[in-house]
Amino acid sequence: MLKQRAKAFYVVVIAVLIGYFVYSTNGPESSRPFRLGLDLSGGSHLVYKADVSKLKPADIADSMTALRDDVERRVNLFGVSEPLVQTEQNATLSSEESAYKLIVELPGVTDTKEAAAAIGATPNLEFRLADAKELEAFRTAAAGVTLATTTPTEKDPAFIALFKSVGLNGATIARASLGFNQTTNEPLVQLSFTDEGRTLFAKVTKEHKGDYLGIFLDNSLIEAPVIREEIPNGQAQISGGFTLPSARTLVRNINFGALPIPITLISEKTIGPTLGQEAVNGGILAGIVSFILIGIFLIVWYRLPGFIATIALAIYTVLMLALFKFIPVTLTAAGIAGFIITIGMAVDANILIFERMKEELRRGRGVADAMHEGFHRAWPSIRDSNISSIITAIILYKFGSTSVITGFALVFLIGVLVSMFTAITASRLMLYAVAPREDTKLARFLISNGFSKKNKNATNQGVSNQ
């Protein structure tokens, strides 16, 4: 008896400590805040139509996967926290072009134009060669303005026309990376050419020493360094006075270039943080009200076991919130709905156990035996019903086509698993610790449930038959 009470005490203490952890780590600046989805935190929701008309039917699935992965890498480099990128196929549409869509959710990004630009940008990077004599002549005519400073000449069409294409462009670059000037610590972009690009770059730098090699991005001159010597290793760098964000953006654009499938933005929606906060507050209020009403019902109808079940339900809630932080789970409105549903489901197992206990009392068993048999007899039903719920949740999570379905399924699955622990292990341990050992009318009243005359007579009959 003392050992069981000690175990129950430790369970409650651990639950309290976990609850304190959940409370103390709440907030956006904490080390483990709750991760909120787009509908709760605010952000941008973009829907693109994918043009698969030029693809073979057998290649569509792989191409859509490549599209999703490419866009996901772009938005990750864009600095978005917890982005969601997924593809969707609408089999009911007759046109194959409109049947395939790309859905992008960017929490915290409320400028849809900026988000769309980051996703659909296809930069045109090109190296162009300018003869040193022609460039110097242009400078002289422009009143001695040098190329080393920012001047109107860099945007002059006549000045730009002096630079001729040499076949070096984004397609000849294997990779771009972010670097820093070791002297000034300014950010710069480092380039590594492909085998073809390395050979061509070495040829250009060898044959045009003293000339200018202009680096153009989307037809805008970024930098025009003088070729001092041959560069045979296929390595170059761009140091055009970048800020750190602009250098990162250029690296991202160079690395990922054009998308594998053309996409067209067909829908955009912005969810403000105020609307998201209202959804969070509504979910919290619904959870609190649900917990209170369930707790009142349990205590009034099931008495002592109901009180224990209410404590177990509180432990269940604390464990769920802690798991949301540690896994971590990105909470959406659908996920909160799934969590609230599992609060009610967490009580189902306890009700089955308590009803079995009542049946055992009616058969004339003592309080201790009735509790033991109640847990033992209820377990097969609890196990089977929860297994069916787990299977359903896994199927929803695996084949759910939208974040609403998968978010609900994940929270629902975690809730079912945790509820099995709290209903069977925690409830039984605490009930054994506090239940009366003497088989009295008061003990039977506390362990039984309901208030009907029939139930009272059945209980009295059980006492007389012992």
pLDDT tens-place string over residues 411-462:
899 998 998 888 888 888 888 888 777 777 887 788 777 765 444 444 444 4
Counting other chains too, the contacts that 146-150 makes at CB distance below 8 Å and 24 or more residues apart are 147/212, 147/224
Q: Which residue has the tokens 């362990």?
A: 447
3-state SS assignment for residue 50: strand
Instruction: Compute the average pLDDT of residues 278-295.
Output: 83
Residue 211 identity (one-letter amino acid): D
Report the distance separating Cα 380 and Cα 386, nearest Å.
Answer: 10
Positions of E strands within 272-405: 330-331
User: What is the length of the chain?
Assistant: 466
Which residues on neighbouring strands pair with residue 44, listed in sequence order? Answer: 106, 270
- Residue 51 CA, chain-centre distance (Å), reads 27
Burial of 96 (0-12, 13-18, 19+ CB in 10 A): middle
Q: Which CATH superfamily is domain 2-34+272-464 in?
A: Multidrug efflux transporter AcrB transmembrane domain (1.20.1640.10)
- Which two three-digit tokens encode residue 247? 């250098």
- Which two three-digit tokens encode residue 71? 């866009």
Q: Which residue has the tokens 């979910």?
A: 283
Distances (CA, A) of 180 to 214, 228, 255, 390: 21, 21, 18, 51
Instruction: Compute the average pLDDT of residues 100-127.
Output: 76
3-state SS assignment for residue 88: strand
- Report the mean per-residue pLDDT for the chain: 80
Cβ contact 343:416 at 8 Å: no
- The sheet with strand 100-107 has its strands ordered as 84-89, 100-107, 43-50, 263-271
pLDDT over 90 (residue 391): yes
Residue 116 identity (one-letter amino acid): A
pLDDT at residue number 273: 66
330-331 vs 35-36, strand pairing mode: parallel
3-state SS assignment for residue 252: helix
> Is the sign of the CA dihedral 311, 317, 318, 323 positive or negative?
positive
Cβ contact 466:364 at 8 Å: yes
CA angle 173, 176, 181 (to 5 degrees): 130
pLDDT at residue number 248: 80
Distances (CA, A) of 93 to 13, 101, 227, 336: 57, 12, 56, 32
Which residues on neighbouring strands pair with residue 175, listed in sequence order? Answer: 192
Instruction: Compute the average pLDDT of residues 141-150.
Output: 53
pLDDT tens-place string over residues 356-373:
888 888 888 888 888 888
Cβ contact 317:411 at 8 Å: no
The helix or strand, by DSSP H or E, that contains position 89, with its residue range, turns out to be strand 84-89
DSSP per residue over 164-226, as a string?
A: EEEEEEGGGEEEEEEEE-TTT--EEEEEEE-HHHHHHHHHHHHH-TTSEEEEEETTEEEE--B
CA angle 96, 97, 99 (to 5 degrees): 60
Report the distance separating Cα 231 and Cα 191, nearest Å.
Answer: 12
CA angle 274, 280, 286 (to 5 degrees): 135
- Residue 181 CA, chain-centre distance (Å), reads 35
Domain ranges of the chain: 2-34+272-464, 43-106, 125-256
Residue 31 φ then ψ, to 5°: -70, -30
DSSP per residue over 120-171, as a string?
A: H----EEEEEE-HHHHHHHHHHTTT--TTS--GGGG-HHHHTT-EEEEEEGG
pLDDT over 50 (residue 94): no
* Assigned CATH topology for domain 125-256: Gyrase A; domain 2 (3.30.1360)
> Is the sign of the CA dihedral 317, 345, 323, 375 positive or negative?
positive
pLDDT over 60 (residue 125): yes
pLDDT tens-place string over residues 220-266:
787 788 888 888 998 888 776 778 887 887 776 667 655 667 788 88
3-state SS assignment for residue 341: helix
Q: 184 or 74: whose pLDDT is higher?
A: 184
- What's the predicted TM-score (pTM) here? 0.59
CA angle 281, 283, 286 (to 5 degrees): 110
